[in-house]
């Protein structure tokens, strides 16, 4: 019996490519784990809670120069929360509206114009947004509200809303589009108006996707650095109104890291806040993942 089905050397390239591509994948992905571990290691959290978490988050002020120095980030996460909340408050209704417009109302050619327009909006670098906000809003706020320096949480929130808008809008559009066409036709077949269909059918069916859109916007807004750094005012005081200045977490990191002695208490505090931010964003990402998969399975069924 001939043994002609046996493999020739011709096939080594396949095994090599498979091994190499696996190696590439492993290298890239392992950096995520390395990053988590390293940021944790550099933070004080790694060396067994040298600082009390409650003090760190709530009680202590940020006063590295004081004696004794104190490193609390209450002011920072409050600013982050206010700016993020404000930006989502603006971006979500508008983003859902745009999503609904794109998937239900807009004629084909309008969709084709809007798509690149939103991509353009998403493609503008953060620092350019910061600059734009500075030359348009900050200067005018100084005049309108008679402020000595115009930077404030309100401006940072407004610009941040524009920045997260394209992400919210395109995810929402996708969510509305993925509602089955038959369902839509069945609803219209009952002779009701478009508004009625949107309210009763589309929103309910697209709900997980819309939630994912909100989560995506939230993750983006929390991690945004340069624009809030340039617009929020960068003072370590705890803000009491939207027209006051503040220093969101990311701005705190960007401001302080360059001037910090490696492995000092301040350095560790900065990495601890970075670690918290990282974990929060990854958690939100996990929620998005679950929603997306849940959502996909539902719309297949």
Partner 1 sequence: MIVPMAMTRYHVPEEVCDSPASERIFDIRDLSVTFNGRPVLQKVNVMALNRQVLAIVGPSGSGKSTLLRTMNRTLELTRDARIISGDIHFKGEQLYGNGTDPRIVRKRICMVHQKPVAFPMSIEENVLFGVRFHKNWNGRTKDEIVQSCLERVGLWNEVKDRLSEAASRLSVGQLQRLCIARALANDPEAILMDEPCSALDPVSTGRIEELILAMRPHLPIIIVTHNLAQARRISDQSLFLSDGKSLEQDTTERIFTHAVNERVRDFITGKVG
Partner 2 sequence: MHDAAAKSLSANVTGSSETYRASLLRDRLWRAALWFCGFIGFLLPVAIIGYLIIEGLRFVSWQFLTDYPKGSPLGTEGGIWPAVEGSLALASIGLLVAFPLALGGGLYLSEYGRSQRFNKIVRFLVECLAAVPSIIFGLFGYAFLVVFLKFGISLIAGGLVLALIMFPILLIAVQESLRSVDEAYREMGLSLGVTRFYLVRRVLLRKAWRGIVAGIVLAVGHAVGSAAPVLFTASVYFSKGGLGLDRPVMTLPTHLYNLVSEAISFDQAFGTALILIAGLLIFNASAMLLRRLGGGFTQ
Minimum CB separation of residue 67 from partner 2 in Å reads 27
Between CA 257 and CA 267 the distance in angstroms is 7
Count of other CB atoms within 10 angstroms of residue 42: 19
Whether the Cβ atoms of residue 78 and residue 244 lie closer than 8 Å to each other: no
Please state whether the peptide bond connecting residue 292 to the residue before it is cis, i.e. omega within 30 degrees of 0. no
1 binds, among partner 2, partner 1, none (CB under 5 to 8 A by kind): partner 1
Of 96, 264, 268, give the one whose Cα is nearest residue 165: 96
Scanning the structure block, which residue is given the tokens 């190499």? 20
Residues 9-28 that bind partner 2 (CB under 8 A): 10-11, 13-14, 16-18, 20-25, 27-28
Contacting range for partner 2; rule: CB under 8 A; set: 53-61, 64-72, 90-98, 180-188: 90-98
2 binds, among partner 2, partner 1, none (CB under 5 to 8 A by kind): partner 1
Between CA 87 and CA 95 the distance in angstroms is 11
7 binds, among partner 2, partner 1, none (CB under 5 to 8 A by kind): partner 1
257 binds, among partner 2, partner 1, none (CB under 5 to 8 A by kind): partner 2
Tell me if 149 contacts partner 2 by CB under 8 A: no
Tell me if 296 contacts partner 2 by CB under 8 A: no
The residue (of 5 and 109) whose beta carbon lies closer to partner 1 is: 5
* Distances in whole angstroms, Cα of residue 97 to Cα of each of 91, 92, 101, 162, 228: 10, 8, 6, 14, 25
Whether the Cβ atoms of residue 223 and residue 97 lie closer than 8 Å to each other: no
**Interface with partner 1 by CB under 8 A: which residues?**
1-8, 10-11
Tell me if 196 contacts partner 2 by CB under 8 A: yes
Whether the Cβ atoms of residue 170 and residue 118 lie closer than 8 Å to each other: yes
Start-to-end CA distance of the chain, whole Å, equals 52
The residue (of 21 and 52) whose beta carbon lies closer to partner 2 is: 21
Tell me if 63 contacts partner 2 by CB under 8 A: no
Minimum CB separation of residue 9 from partner 1 in Å reads 11
Among 94, 147, 243, 265, binds partner 2 (CB under 8 A): 94
């Amino acid at each position: 019996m001939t043994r002609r089905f046996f493999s020739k050397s011709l096939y080594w390239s396949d095994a090599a490519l498979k091994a190499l591509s696996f190696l590439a994948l492993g290298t890239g992905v392992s950096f995520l784990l390395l990053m988590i571990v390293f940021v944790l290691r550099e933070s004080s959290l790694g060396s067994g809670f040298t600082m009390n978490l409650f003090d760190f988050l709530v009680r202590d002020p940020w006063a590295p120069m004081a004696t004794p120095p104190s490193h609390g980030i209450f002011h920072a996460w409050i600013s982050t929360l206010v700016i993020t909340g404000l930006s989502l408050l603006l971006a979500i209704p508008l983003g859902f509206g745009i999503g609904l417009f794109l998937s239900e109302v807009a004629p084909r050619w309008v969709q084709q114009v809007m798509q690149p327009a939103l991509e353009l909006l998403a493609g503008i670098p953060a620092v350019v947004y910061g600059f734009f906000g500075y030359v348009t809003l900050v200067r005018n706020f100084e005049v309108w509200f008679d402020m000595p320096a115009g930077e404030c949480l309100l401006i940072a929130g407004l610009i941040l809303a524009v920045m997260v808008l394209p992400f919210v809008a395109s995810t929402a559009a996708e969510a509305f589009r993925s509602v089955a066409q038959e369902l839509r036709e069945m609803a219209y077949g009952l002779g009701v108006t478009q508004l009625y269909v949107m309210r009763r059918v589309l929103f309910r069916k697209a709900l997980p996707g819309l939630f994912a859109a909100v989560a995506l916007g939230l993750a983006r807004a929390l991690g945004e650095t340069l624009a809030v750094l340039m617009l929020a005012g960068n003072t370590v005081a705890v803000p009491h109104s939207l027209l006051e200045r503040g220093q969101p977490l990311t701005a705190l990191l960007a401001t302080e890291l360059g001037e910090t002695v490696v492995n000092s208490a301040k350095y560790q505090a900065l990495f601890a806040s970075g670690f918290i931010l990282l974990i929060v964003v990854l958690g939100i990402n996990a929620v998005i993942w679950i929603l997306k998969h849940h959502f996909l399975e539902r719309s297949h069924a």
